[in-house]
Structure formats: structure tokens, C-alpha cells
A and B are shown apart, each in its own frame.
Chain A
Amino acid sequence: MTVRVLGVGAAAPELRLRAADVGAAWGRGGRGEVAVCAPDEDTLTLAWQAADRALAAAGVESGQIDALYWGTSRPPFAEGPSFAFLAASLSLAATVGGALCAGSTHAGMEALAAGTDAISAGSARVALVIASDALRPGPGTGFEARCGAGAAALVLAVDGPVTATIGARVTRTRPFLDRYRGDGEVDNRDMYDARLFREQIFLPVVRDVAENLAAFDVRAWSLPDPDGRLGAVLARDVRAPITTSSTIYGAIGDAGAAAALLGGIAALDAAGLVAIVGTGGGRTTGVLVNAETPVPGAALTADAISGGRPASYAEALRARGQLRPVGETIPMGVPPESAMFVRGADEMLGLLGGRCVDCGTISTPPSIHPHCINCGGPKLEPVALARHGRVHTFVVNQTMPAPFVAPLPIVVLDMDDGARLMLQAIGDGSDIEIGRQVALVLRKYAHERGVPVYGFKAQPKKEVAS
């Protein structure tokens, strides 16, 4: 069966770390910059952002998704409900199938292949494929200043408008060690020997896969480039007319499992054949995508990953959990494994409210509102809350104990559906004022006892409401 690409979306953290700042800490040079996660971002929040954009571009409702395939080298739980948390935060149906692919930076290609196969086999009519990553290199390792973060998502379907279709696939498996971390290790280890990696591991197998795809009339390529040079070598080998991945690497660094698909979706902004090659963990896979017209969302890739605020090396280390304060931090009043999180799982991750059948007022969250806050009525129906609103009033908290980081803006919002919410806002608060429009995005509120606690935060929009 034909596998269509209905829409794509990309995401990357706003923070940028300069390679020169990393190099300076270790007595080295460095050029370029990479995207690094803020303390409230990780592979799951990046995946959510890319998927949210892909669904919007495709014009597909979350309830239509039959299967989710998510590839990341670093799911938020080493073992746990990573897939289920992401599915709930995207408001996917409880019946959603699919898989979490992990274990190496090849995971993004595995998700794409699995999603394609699910559609081909007829086990899913609409599949959401997401690749996201946030590499966590060991401080001082040679690849540290190259390690970035980002996410790409594709909506695949058996029906729909003709935009692009997924074609031939080539794959190779070789039992070689490349970049890795052992069981229980949190930081990626460096390559044992850069020349050994280049000459005996990376180039022979990736070149083999790429040259198979080069037999076709490929318009644009997404090629792996872990060290900032190998991508150019491959592009020369296959005589690539356009290498969209080099732009992605230049903007955000090596986005690990997301890198191949990010380069791939960026290339879908025009008609023609696109070759996507990803590698990691001893596996390399290449896929052809035939775009008959530009794919919705593809042209937004560059904007979606464009950078913002520069981060110091110390800030990046703190955000990655590699620089920690001494002493106890304030634990959550409600442990994240406890009953409240079981009761509130759907309403927190899916952002639900209770709409009063009698007066229409929305009370939220539903689990603590058996009665309406306006009329006291007992009949409330669950509704998905609006994701856009404006600031009614706000504060910027400057006095925060660890694990909080000040400044922390907190906003009271009048949402477009009439609900009122109070949430944390993204940024330092300097761009917040009464009337400012915001969009809600998924972020991490806490990380305690190994459990990431996700919820929505307010992202101020640039313009001021009239």
C-alpha cells in the first residue's frame, strides 16, 4: 500500500550554546553553536512540540491517530511510561498502538521504518512518527560541543491528498561500537579513536547505504554528520546537489536520533526525490521519499528550529543535570508516584477541564471540582481546554529555592474558551504584560524520584493584543 506523508513538523530548544565557550572551559577552540534543552525541556517535550506542529500542518486531529512511533536515544524513563506520557500529552486515543524505538541514534530511522510498515501492512490508517533527541555528552569529551537537540515529526497515512510517498529502503547492520553509553550510565562516552571510527566504522557502511540510494535521481539529501566533517565527505561521494542536513547541523548541532528526519523533512519543501540516511548503534538505514508537491509544514522547518537566547556553558551543564547544587532540594508536596498523579494523569497531560452542563463555566482540574465554580451545579462534562489565551495578570517570582530557578514568571490567563488558568510562563518574564497573547506548550514542571512531571506552560507570543 502507498504510504503518504500528510504533514511534517520540527522543533528545537531555544537555548544556544557556543562551541567556543565549551572549548574555552577545556583549553580548546571551537566554532558554531548547538541547541541545548532548558531545564524544563527534554526529548519528550521536543517530541510533543514537533508532533503538535506536524498534526496542525497535516490537518489531522489527534483522535485520528492509530499508531505512534517514537524514536529517541534518550527516552525520559530508562524503563517506564515514556511512550504513554507522550501519547497522553498529545491527547491520542487510549487505543493507540505503535512503539518506542530507543537504544541508539538510529532510533529515528527505526520509528520511520516501523510507521511505514504499519501503514503498508494495513495495521494503521494514520500513524504519527516522531524522532527526538537531546544528546548528553560527557563534559570534556571531543564531541561535546557538537551535541545538540531537536525533533521531527511526520504524519503518515494510507489515504489523503497526494503530497509525498515513502519509497525504497536500504539498511545495514554491523556489530561495531560507535558512540555509546553503558547500562546505568547517563553521559555518552567519546569515540575510542576518531580515525578508527571514520575509516573503519562510519564511512564504509554509511557510504554503502548512501550509494545504493544514489542510483536514483535524488534531489536533496539528509546525511549524518557526527563530527562536522563527515557529512561533507558523504555529500561529495554521492554528488548530492542539495544537503539539507548540513543546514540543520549548522543551526542546532547533532540532534542524534532526530538529525536524519529533521534533514529529511526540511527537504520536503519542494517536489522531487529525497534521500534520508541515519546511523547509530551499528545500524544504518536509508529511505527515499518522493515529494510530488511540497509537503505541508516542510517550509516551516527552518523557523521551527531557529535559535534564540544564548546559554552559558554553566547554564547548559545545569540544564543537562551535570552541575548540581549541594544540599537537599524541596520535594514536591505530592510524590509523583502517588494516587493524585493516577487520578490526575489524563487531566494534567491532556489539559482537561470540566464544563458545567447548566451554565457553561469551565472548572479545572476536573478531579478537584465535582461542582461548578460558578453556579455550584453538579453536572460537568470533560472538555479539552483551549491552548491559546491572554494574560490577565502575572508575577515574576525572584525568590526560589532549588530545584526552582529564578526568575520564574507565573501568569493568570483568560483562555479563548473562557476558562481561566494559572501556569508558569516560559522565559524570564521580561516579555510578559497584561493582554499579551500566549500559546500553551508542554514542558517539564519537575523531575523528582526519577519521574518527570509534565504539564503545560504559557509561551508569550511576540505581538501585543489590542
Chain B
Amino acid sequence: MSWNKVAVVGAGLIKMGELFEQSYEQMAAGAFDAAVASVDKGFEPHQVDAAFVATQRGTLWGQEGIGGNTIPTAIGLAGIPCTRIENACPSGSDAFRVGAMAVASGVHDVVLVIGVEKMRDKSSEEGLLSRAAAGHPIFTRGETAPVLFAPFATRHMHEFGTTREMLASVAVKNHYNGARDPYAHFQNEITVDDVLKSPSVCHPLHLLDCCPQTDGAAAVLLVNAERVREFTDKPVYAAGFGVATDHPYLHEKDSFTEIKVTRMASQRAYAMAGVGPGDIDCAEVHDCFTITEILDIEDLGFFDKGDGGRASLEGDTSLTGRIPVNTSGGLLAKGHPIGATGVAQITECWWQLRGEAGERQVETRNGYALQHNAGGRGSGVAVVNILTNRTDTS
């Protein structure tokens, strides 16, 4: 039986990209306005009882010492309770989970979950590349973001014969979807050849195997399921969620062919929602690099271990495939404004379950969509949220 104690009644995001012209606060206000405007029966901002904000790297990107207080002022709601969630790349997913628990607890009836991230206010070198100088002075020296996932690609290729073409097919599919998502950072289609011939970033990953650095914000409105009809007649519910942790450093990993936390978090979410991988109609998964999506679709149980490369190459995850993955364009095309990423993925699931995804709309036979992020140095944490449009289980 799905959990279904909390409903998503509004969701929205701003156009992702290098938003040099927008402040952190302006991006947040844009996402909040979009979510408010999306509520079927109307929504007044002051109806928000509390907010949870996901921003992962405020200390690096111009929001030094940020707490929960920046967002209420930015959206005209100074005074409301607001807490910042920072939990690596799943920050937005986890803010959703925590927000849902706050509603289910009965403490708050209406909660705003908002993810905001400024990735481009400092130079690329000071941004993601600064990771190379962060952390342990020996064991993580030189560890830029691709170093966290490229070793998995090397090992997956070694054990399962996964090829660069298979990796590239993930980027090609996600750019195809992104070209059909007006909110995506990249709106252009690419070919396998484009990916193969792009410059090497971190062997075996090339430039188009990597997501861009993107500014962005996204917001969703959660309400107690008992009050959902005040806001919409097309509700989408939080069916279940799961979180899992693993050792943070790569040298502590048991395996370089799976992201263990993804498997563990999804098993917990499936159990809570009372479904299995076969019940999921579409999924927004963490594709910071092409190899990550191949690992995801195996570890989430959509495909057997080692089969993710073949499945991607043969179109099993395309809009018309067996299990459409990253219909929004994913992190690779839509972008990865870290705190906003999970919330934006939930927005896509919400649209898909309401039949509002336009050109990207897939068939939602079972009425379940899955959203996933993993991160935290060497994939030390993952969050999986499952949403449903089914009311028969509540």
C-alpha cells in the first residue's frame, strides 16, 4: 500500500542555464511563483506554513553562511519557519522527503520545498574544479567531480564489456529529451559521434559524458492529503521514499560496478510504496555522467547488473522504450543546479503523472514515477522518492 499521506499540488521551475543576470534570490522567487501559478484551484503565498530549502554549495558560491532565512525574505514570506537541507547531490530530494514528513507529522499542513543553486557566480576553476583541492590532502587530491564516477566506468567496461558508444547513447537520448523540454539548459540534439569526439575530460569520460554547470531553481508545494481537494482534483501523492548512506571515500567502496546507496535507497522506497521496479512508468535519475545513469538503471532494478549499457544503446530507456528515463533531459541536458536538481526532477514526475509533459509525455499505465539522486563525495548518500497519481491506494 502506498503511503500517500502527502500530496504535491503545485510544482514549477525556472529555465535552467548560465543565469549570470539573476541573483540567488531572484531564481528562488521565479521558481516559487511558477509553483504557485501551477496550482489548479489557486494558491495564495501566505498559505505556506513552512519551507524547506535545498542549497548544497552555498558556502562556495556566494551564499556564505546561508541558513534557512534567505528564502522567506526572497519570496515575500519573512517570518515563516524555514530550514535548509544540505545533503550533497540529493539535497533537493531529501528536502522533499523531509518536507513530506513535516506534513505527515501534522505539524504543518502546507509546506514549500524549494531548491536553489548558484553554480556560475564564481569561475569554473573556483567552482567544480576547486573540488580537486578540497577534502583529504592526499586521498582526494586531484579529485574533480568526474573522478568520483569515472572509476566506475573503467571497471564497468572491464567487467561487462560496456563501451563508450553505450555511454554516449545516454547523452544522445537525454539531449534528445532536453531539446523537447523548454526548461532545459541545453536544447540541442547530439549524435554518438559528437560524444565520442568531444575532448577527454577524465578518461574514460569525455566532455559530452558530463553534465554542465548550471544555475537554477525549482519548487513544489506539499499539502496534507486530507486537504488536497482544496487545491486540485488531479492530485499526485508521495507514495514512498528511501535514503541510504555508504562510506564517503572512493577507497572505502566494496564495488566499482554499482552505487550501493542507490540500490539500498530504492529498496526502501519500493517497500514503502508497496511497488517494485516493474511498476514504475518513468524515472528521473541522477545522470551527472553517462556512466551514472547506466549504474542507476541497474541499481534501481530496471535492468540486470551489467545490462545497463546494452539497454541504453538499444533504446530501452527512450521516451517510447520499456522504461523511459530522464524524460526532462536529465542532468546531462537539463542541467545540474545541485540543490534544485531533485526538486526539478520531482516537477517532471508531477507533469508526467498529470499528463502535462507535452512532447515528452510517456504512457503512465501504472501511475508511478520514480525520482533519484546520489552523491556525497564517492556516492555516500542516495535518495529515492516515488510519486503516484493513484488514489486507490490511499
Q: Which residues of A contact B (CB under 8 A)?
A: 330-334, 336, 340-341, 344, 348, 363-365, 368, 373, 392-401, 404, 407-408, 410, 412-413, 420-424, 429, 434, 445-446, 453, 455-456
Contact = CB atoms under 8 A, between A and B. Distances in A.
A422 B155 CA distance: 14
Contacts of B144: 397, 399-400
Given A401-B125, A429-B203, A455 B142 contact: no
Ranked 5 nearest A-B pairs via Cβ: A333-B134, A455-B138, A395-B150, A396-B203, A422-B251
A398 B125 contact: no
A405 to B, nearest CB: 10
A325 B158 CA distance: 38
A388 B294 CA distance: 32
A401 B132 contact: yes
B78 to A, nearest CB: 34
14 contacts: A330-B126, A333-B135, A336-B137, A365-B136, A373-B252, A393-B158, A395-B205, A398-B201, A407-B203, A408-B142, A424-B142, A445-B138, A446-B141, A455-B137
A434 B132 contact: no
A394 B142 contact: no
Contacts of B137: 332, 334, 336, 340-341, 344, 348, 445-446, 453, 455
Given A410-B147, A420-B251, A420-B252, A393 B155 contact: yes
A455 B139 CA distance: 9
Interface string B143-154: 110110011101
Interface string B195-207: 0000111111100
B163 interface: no
B353 to A, nearest CB: 38
Contact of A398 (B126, B129, B135, B203): B203
A368 B130 CA distance: 22
Contacts of A421: 139, 251
Contact of A395 (B134, B140, B154, B249): B154
B139 A423 contact: yes
Interface in B153-209: 154-155, 158, 199-205
Interface in B195-243: 199-205
Given A393-B154, A395-B154, A397-B144, A422 B139 contact: yes
Contacts of B250: 412, 422
B155 A395 contact: no
A86 to B, nearest CB: 17
A154 B142 CA distance: 35
Given A331-B133, A399-B201, A392 B155 contact: yes
B256 A393 contact: yes
A312 to B, nearest CB: 22
Contacts of B200: 396, 398
Contact of A434 (B143, B155, B203): B155
Given A397-B146, A422-B140, 17 more contacts: A331-B133, A333-B134, A334-B137, A365-B139, A373-B247, A393-B256, A394-B151, A395-B205, A397-B203, A400-B142, A400-B144, A421-B139, A423-B138, A434-B154, A434-B158, A453-B138, A456-B138
Interface in B331-364: none
A392 B158 CA distance: 10
A217 to B, nearest CB: 51
Interface centre among B154, B158, B256 (most CB of A within 10 A): B154
B125 A330 contact: yes
B147 A412 contact: no
Contacts of B152: 393
Contact of B138 (A348, A401, A407, A429): A348
Contacts of A434: 154-155, 158
Most A-side CB within 10 Å, residue of B138, B154, B200: B138
A458 to B, nearest CB: 12
Interface in B78-137: 125-126, 129-130, 132-137
B132 A398 contact: no
A271 to B, nearest CB: 44
A394 B147 CA distance: 9
A398 B198 CA distance: 13
Nearest to B207: A399
A412 B151 contact: yes
A444 to B, nearest CB: 11
Contact of A330 (B129, B147, B150, B201): B129
A336 B137 CA distance: 8
A424 B140 CA distance: 9
Contacts of A398: 199-203
A404 B247 CA distance: 27
B79 to A, nearest CB: 36
Contacts of B134: 332-333
Contact of B141 (A394, A413, A445): A445
Contacts of A368: 136
A305 B126 CA distance: 40
Contacts of A330: 125-126, 129-130, 132-133
B241 to A, nearest CB: 25
Contact of B251 (A331, A364, A397): A364
Contact of B132 (A392, A404, A422, A429): A404
A455 B140 CA distance: 12
Contacts of B147: 395, 397, 410
A80 B96 CA distance: 52
A401 to B, nearest CB: 4
B133 A332 contact: yes
Nearest to A330: B133
A411 B162 CA distance: 20
Contacts of A397: 132, 142, 144, 146-147, 202-203
Nearest to A391: B154
Contacts of B139: 365, 421-423
A317 to B, nearest CB: 23
A357 to B, nearest CB: 19
A410 B129 contact: no
A407 B144 CA distance: 13
Contacts of B146: 395, 397, 399
Q: Find the residue from B146, B155, B200, B251 having the highest chain A CB count within 10 A.
A: B251
Nearest to B124: A401
Nearest to A413: B251
Contacts of A423: 138-139
Contacts of B154: 393-395, 434
Contacts of B251: 364, 412-413, 420-422
A410 B129 CA distance: 15
Contacts of A331: 133
Contacts of A364: 251
A137 B249 CA distance: 42
Contacts of B126: 330
A344 B203 CA distance: 31
A401 B128 CA distance: 10
Contacts of A420: 251-253
A333 B57 CA distance: 14
Contacts of A410: 142-143, 147, 151
A126 B159 CA distance: 50
A400 B132 contact: yes
Contacts of A340: 137
A341 B199 CA distance: 37
A205 B164 CA distance: 67
A47 B229 CA distance: 76
Contacts of A400: 129, 132, 142, 144
A336 B152 CA distance: 31
Contacts of A446: 133, 137, 141
A364 B140 CA distance: 13
A335 B250 CA distance: 23
